[in-house]
Amino acid sequence: MSSRYNHKVIEKKWQKIWSERNIFSTEKNINKKKYYVLEMFPYPSGKIHMGHVRNYTLGDVVARYKKMKGFNVLHPMGWDAFGLPAENAAITEKKHPEEWTYKNIKTMKNQLLQMGLSLDWEREIATCHPEYYKHEQKFFIDLFNAGLAYKKEAEVNWDPVDKTVLANEQVIDGKGWRSGAVVEKKKLSQWFLKISKYSDELLNDLDKLDKWPNKVKIMQSNWIGKSVGAEIDFQLEQGSKKITVFTTRPDTIFGASFIALSTEHDLTNDLAKSNSSIKDFIEECRILNPDKTKKGFNTGLSVNHPFIKEKRIPVFIANFVLMEYGLGAIFGCPAHDQRDLDFANEYNLEVITVVKPSNYGLKKFQVRNTAFTENGEVINSDFLNGLKSEAAKEKIINLLEEKKIGQKKINYKLRDWGISRQRFWGCPIPIIYREDGEILAVDEVDLPVKLPHVQNFTESSSTLNNIADWKETTCRQTGLKAYRETDTFDTFFESSWYYFRYCNARLNKPFNKKDIDYWLPVDQYIGGIEHAILHLLYSRFFTKALRDLGYFDLGEPFKGLFTQGMVCHETYKDNNNNWRSPEEVETIDSLGNIKVQKKTEFTPCYRDVRGPARWFVGAKLRTEENFSGDSFEKLQALLQKRRATQPIGKLSCGSVFTNPSGDFAGRLIETSGLKGCRIGGAVVSEKHANFILNENNASATDIERLILHIQDIVKCKTGVILETEVKIVGNSMSRALETI
């Protein structure tokens, strides 16, 4: 008898036994402690990939462990089934997207079954099934009646390839998150959810999530973007109108050299009515990415400075000013905001330094090419001179309120969630427009509002607006003619509540409150960090909104969160001694959005890759079919050497400095006595001096300050100027500030 493990026979045998005995089927048992483990459910794209295998294996280990420890374990699975890929495939094959989707679900389910995962398949859901989405249509009606869902005309992000609106969170470096096309600005009438109403609660409740990764909480905190500052009224010199701006730096008011308005500001629109050049400028701004190109239009208007007599400040329209944040108007202080400084240099505007570093001494301080953005000591500011920034802020706000030209104000960067999508394969929004002008929610007895079945699905079918016999309807209450809302929900609407449905997936209502009280919150949630400000933030909002609608008492959906890392390996050379290049790579932007890109989009160089401005987090490599034992041993030896000489396994920003000609950066740092040197949570590695470790929640500022300190000390002791191998993203600390 062979001792070789025959997985095909043995695994099939035991999977059959598990299925027959319903080993992984779970029922509510109030006498047992529950444990809810969940992986983010997959999109049925056709076949599972190694990312799925990795995630579901992680969840399976946790689920089996907790089950063996005596917990009543809920470990379900379902399908995030709406979306553009199904629609595009249907257009190609001239089939209904439903057919393509359910075919893929069948394939992927069979693959998952072969893995033998401990999943409760009796709770399986698919978000494209009417028995699922009828409940979210009811949620929307409740949100609508509560004033948490509304429609307005707004400037939106338009993907010209996918031909749909994108949420702000779905725009990455000015491009669509799926298509990669440059996003355009377009005015459309759209449905929104008032997520902004929950800004403060979403921010404050992050402190309760002690089993979430700090990086995710930081990303959400930054995205919500709470800002404490002031609203200031600037009187227009031409006429009686005023421009009200919001600023977080009222202490820099004496450094103001321009006012900038959003292209959507009321004054901008008024000026455009009589000025075709302004109208053309607004249109131009719709296709410009403000992160890369900052443009302004001088209106010829000016405002009076609130504290400097006879000083006039020019008014511009600028593409980088957002209407949704603050009031759609800012005052520019170029010396203390890099964006403002770049703008001022472009349009030859005054740069007035009004804050200096607190420890700078009596030397004259002046900003040149790099803005000084930190707090410090106020200078060149009349009655504010000598005050620290925080004291100056308080004083100027008090004066503004006394003069009745301003007030203290708290703002949030988080904007309301635009949920309208101009596509077919999504959940219909349950709204009708009656011929007398009334906008009404669909009567609940008429739910679900189902998608029509379209034979020979084509490009023209890909929007409900083109399907007249579905669009036309009547009002149940009055019998008057009406037409249906032809937009569908953003697919994140479905994924914002699916974890509730698993508690009892066969109920005729979305869930039972007693089931929610028992199973929720999810004890361990597993998925990618790319959803930090998408799915995870939306789910938190959805939970709080449903709570306020009386569905349950829960405030947070996920108790524990695990964001998986990437499977990494050493790069190596092929048989011709050429460095292998990846077939494709996974990249991430500053907001944590991950995108798969082909190698053809990049040009590899030594220690550098030219291409889109993103960061690499993983790669797919193609190996030789006959990877020899000798090669494997060499690879293992290389890895062992690396583990012995570098701080592998510790949080670090990698190799920090490039090696100067004929020497090693690590040796120079070590001989300069800098091993173990610490600033805040950042410390020079004792094992390899060219590594900076994060040992105590180091901030970016801690790391950058330590880098600057190392450069200064090494230069002083060795005469060598170390150049960084790491890249500073955003505004770096001010080394370019000059003295006179």
Phi, psi for 676 (deg, rounded to 5): 85, -5
What DSSP state is assigned to residue 11?
A: H
The residue among 323 and 560 whose pLDDT is bigger is: 560
Q: Please provide the size of the chain in residues.
A: 740
pLDDT tens digit string along 389-405?
A: 999 999 999 999 999 99
What pLDDT was estimated at residue 730? Answer: 55
What's the rounded Cα separation, in Å, for the pair 37 and 241? 58
What is the residue-wise DSSP string for 73-113? EE-EEEE---SHHHHHHHHHHTS-HHHHHHHHHHHHHHHHH
- 725 has catalytic annotation: yes
* 635 to 291, 580, 628: CA distances (angstroms): 42, 14, 11
Kindly tell me if the per-residue pLDDT of 645 is higher than 80: no
Q: How confident is the model at residue 249 (pLDDT cuts 50, 70, 90)?
A: very high
At residue 738, the pLDDT reads 31
What pLDDT sits at residue 221?
A: 92
Supply the pLDDT for residue 603: 66
Gap between the Cα atoms of 331 and 334, Å rounded: 10
Per-residue pLDDT, 588: 77
pLDDT digits (tens, 9 = 90+) for 294-329: 899 999 999 999 999 999 999 999 998 988 777 899
Q: Is the pTM of this model over 0.85?
A: no
Neighbours of 536 (CB within 10 A): 26
- Alpha carbons 54 and 64: distance in angstroms, whole number: 16
Pairing of strands 149-159, 164-166: antiparallel
At 578 the three-state DSSP class reads coil
Task: Flag whether pLDDT at 108 surpasses 50.
Answer: yes
More confident residue, 113 or 695: 113
| Predicted pLDDT at 611 | 67
Share of the chain above pLDDT 70, in %: 89
Q: What is the mean pLDDT of residues 11-27?
A: 89
The DSSP secondary-structure symbol of 129 reads S
The confidence score (pLDDT) of residue 551 equals 96
What is the Cα 128 distance to its own chain's centre? Answer: 25
- The whole-number average pLDDT for the span 511-531 is 94
Angle CA(561)–CA(533)–CA(600) in degrees, nearest 5?
A: 105
Query: 246 vs 114, 308, 313, 648, CA distance in Å?
Result: 58, 19, 16, 46
Residue 605: which pLDDT band, with cuts at 50, 70 and 90? low
pLDDT at 85: 81
The continuous run of DSSP H or E covering 616 comes out as: strand 615-620
Task: Taking residues 608-615, report their average pLDDT.
Answer: 65
Q: What is the pLDDT of residues 195-236, one digit of tens each?
A: 999 999 999 999 999 999 988 998 899 899 899 999 999 999
Q: What is the pLDDT of residues 267-294, one digit of tens each?
A: 999 999 999 999 999 988 877 767 667 8
Check pLDDT > 60 for residue 607.
no
Mean pLDDT, all residues of the chain: 87
pLDDT of residue 566: 46
Residue 435: pLDDT above 90? yes
Q: How many CB atoms lie within 10 A of CB 55?
A: 18
What pLDDT is recorded for position 663?
A: 80
Q: How far apart are CA 344 and CA 296, in angstroms?
A: 10
- How far is residue 585's CA from residue 237's CA, in Å, rounded to a whole number? 55
Report the range of poorest mean pLDDT among 41-55, 102-116, 134-148.
41-55
As given in the structure block, the two tokens for residue 262 are 């959003």
Count of Cβ atoms closer than 10 Å to residue 41 Cβ:
22
* CA angle (737, 739, 740) in 5-degree steps: 145
Q: Partners of 59 in the beta sheet?
A: none
Three-state helix/strand/coil letters over 645-663: HCCCCCCEEEECECCCCCC
Give the per-residue pLDDT at 606: 45
> Is the per-residue pLDDT at 7 higher than 60?
yes
pLDDT per position as a tens digit, 489-510 = 999 999 999 999 999 999 999 9
Q: How far apart are CA 249 and CA 337, in angstroms?
A: 10
pLDDT recorded at residue 514? 95
Highest mean pLDDT among 108-117, 159-168, 584-593, 626-635: 108-117
pLDDT tens, 377-386? 999 999 999 9
**Could you give the C-alpha distances from 617 to 74, 206, 401, 549, 567, in angstroms and in order?**
31, 26, 49, 40, 9
Give the CA angle between residues 168, 420, 545 to the nearest 5°.
80
Give the β-pairing of 72-74 and 34-39. Answer: parallel
Residue 639's pLDDT is what? 67
- Give the C-alpha separation, 235 to 212, whole Å: 47
Is omega for the bond preceding 85 within 30 degrees of 0, making it cis?
no
623 three-class SS: coil
Q: Which of 156, 139, 161, 158 is nearest to 148 (CA)?
A: 139
Would you state the pLDDT for residue 430? 98
Is 339 one of the annotated active-site residues of the chain?
no
pLDDT of residue 148 exceeding 60, the answer is yes
448 cis-preceded (ω within 30 degrees of 0): yes
Please tell me which residue in 262, 655, 672, 685 is annotated as part of the active site: 655
CA pair distance 18, 20, nearest whole angstrom:
6
pLDDT band at 622, cuts 50/70/90? Answer: low
Question: H/E element holding 34?
Answer: strand 34-39
Q: What is the DSSP string of 216-240?
A: HHHHHHHHH-EEEEEEEEEEBSSSS
Q: Give φ, ψ of 157 to 5 degrees.
A: -85, 120
Q: What is the pLDDT of residues 466-478, one digit of tens each?
A: 899 999 999 999 9
Q: How far apart are CA 496 and CA 535, in angstroms?
A: 6
Taking only the tens place, the pLDDT of each residue in 57-96 is 999 999 999 999 999 999 999 999 998 888 888 888 888 8
Give the pLDDT of residue 740: 28
pLDDT classification of 643: cutoffs 50, 70, 90: confident
Of 76-90, 116-130, 155-169, 490-504, the least confident: 155-169
Contacts of 325 (CB under 8 A, 6+ apart): 225, 246, 411, 413, 415
Confidence of residue 723 (pLDDT cuts 50, 70, 90): confident
User: Per-residue pLDDT averaged across 113-138, rounded?
Assistant: 96
- Catalytic status, residue 607: yes
H-type helices in 127-275, by residue range?
A: 130-145, 199-204, 214-224, 266-274
* pLDDT (0 to 100) of residue 569: 43
Catalytic residue among 21, 506, 607, 610: 607
